[in-house]
Amino acid sequence: MEKEKKTIYIGCDVSKGYADFCILNENKELLVKDFQLDDTDRGHSKLKSIIKDVFNKTPDIEICSAVESTGGYENNWYNTLKKLSESYNLKITRLNPWGVNLNQKAGLKRNVTDAISAFNIAEYIIDHSDNVQYKQDDSFASLRCYWNLITMNKKHRKELINQLEIALYNANPTLMQYRKSKFPNWLSELLISYPTATDLANANIEELIKIPNIKISKAEKLITEAKQSVASRTDAFTKRYIIETVTQIKALDMTIKNDIDTVEQELKNTKQYEEELTVLKSFKGINTISAIGILLEIGSIERFKNAKAICCYFGVQPKFKQSGDKTSGVHMSKQGSKIIRGILFNITKGAIVYNPVIKTTYEKKLSEGMSKMSAIGVCMHKTLRIIYGMLKHMQNFDPNIDKLNTERSNKKCQDKYNQSLVYTIKARRFQTFDPSAPISKIQNKKRKELNSSQCATNTHTTGSKNSFPVSS
């Protein structure tokens, strides 16, 4: 008979510049006294030496190790353990700190130190071994960091535009009419040359029409409006402020465009990702930028076993709580990454206008009395489920497929409803309602309504279908 392999568990609690480690056996007993190592070459070499010693003493073991996701500080330790897994029977995973924290609270542990946190991480992978995924190679990690830089630049650009509008309102308010939705290129060039109303009023028409998209009629109109302007600030510092702000905005526009092109080209270099981008853009409402953002956040679609799993992972699934007499309203859970929810929100706003499927869903929910934001939330959920189906089967968006899926889902819901909530409640009760039970007024009202509906619509017998022993 083959001897069963023993498993050792390593928990790694990462801090900035160092990490605490805890090594446990299957009974949660310390095999090595918890220790701390610096995030340097000496620290990583010492970790390798400790793990090698463990394998030399007991070569037939398996090591399961875990680090918490801490915004990037764990990457060096994760990489070292991953390299060790190539030579030894060692597995490594990243854990969501939220799950580890809940597991700690369930154990009624009060104190928190780095050493205790390392123990909690090792304990978590022991208690939840069936749910821990050890194959988590993220091919998009570096690209996602680069994409976050693009997102930050876009936010910075928006802040600069907001500040420019305030300055422009005081320096030349008549130009505000040309800045309604976007900031046109001709307006940027105009402000660099003529930042205030005084400068524009004294401008030469021949010089003004050299700016792209400014013709003689528009130039004359701009000069006339500048002469009639009520601008309150035309000093040198205001001029310099506007010129430098516009220059920064133009530089950011160029940087953002080049960075997006770089990311898109990197994805297109791999045939699979290029096909996925094409599939995503077949959905009306998803452009190139949105498709790249979705792809980088989802990674491999194989990580999710079904559409429900991906909706839960990104926090767009409905959530409610019922306890006793209280039931909280259904709302979006908003757990997980908020980045993809922001992308889905923007996609949905466009899809409500241009995509008939999402538009129909949105209008239906509004007609049912749902608020606009709640209806958008429902559409976000539907959009993500559609995206999952498109990527899972590598098919372009087809309204007919969505129609069939919706009909099948509605039929399934109707079948469940036909079984009746009454039957569900009766099946989980092993006695009829006792009128002498000390229940609240609300619960008493519910039971009366339930009894009346049972008499009217249900003939199922109470209790479980299974037989139970009767005490003598």
| Per-domain residue ranges of the chain | 7-127, 144-264, 306-419, 432-457
- pLDDT for 406: 82
CB 106 within 8 A of CB 79: no
User: For the residues 22-31, what does the mean pLDDT come to?
Assistant: 91
Round to whole Å and give the CA distance between 345 and 376.
8
pLDDT band of 460, cuts 50, 70, 90: very low
Mean pLDDT of the chain, nearest integer: 86
CATH fold of 144-264, please? Helix Hairpins (1.10.287)
Round to whole Å and give the CA distance between 413 and 425.
17
The helix/strand/coil state of 286 is coil
CB 25 within 8 A of CB 6: yes
E strands along 277-358, which residues? 318-319, 322-323, 326-327, 331-332
CATH number of 7-127: 3.30.420.40
- Out of 243-252, 271-280, 338-347, 421-430, least confident range: 421-430
CA distances for 322 relative to 1, 285, 330, angstroms: 51, 36, 10
**How much is the pTM?**
0.75
The helix/strand/coil state of 327 is strand
CA distances for 293 relative to 49, 145, 263, 280, 325, angstroms: 41, 11, 10, 11, 43
Is pLDDT at 305 greater than 60 in this prediction?
yes
Round to whole Å and give the CA distance between 154 and 111.
42
- pLDDT for 465: 40
Q: Which residues neighbour 101 within 8 Å (Cβ) at sequence distance 6 or greater?
A: none
Of the candidates 90, 98, 114, 94, which has an alpha carbon nearest to the alpha carbon of residue 9?
Answer: 90
Across the strands, what pairs with 20? 13, 36
pLDDT band of 169, cuts 50, 70, 90: very high
Is pLDDT at 323 greater than 80 in this prediction?
no
- pLDDT for 260: 92
CB 361 within 8 A of CB 379: yes
Round to whole Å and give the CA distance between 439 and 459.
25
CB 209 within 8 A of CB 215: yes
pLDDT band of 3, cuts 50, 70, 90: low
- pLDDT for 250: 94
Is pLDDT at 420 greater than 60 in this prediction?
no
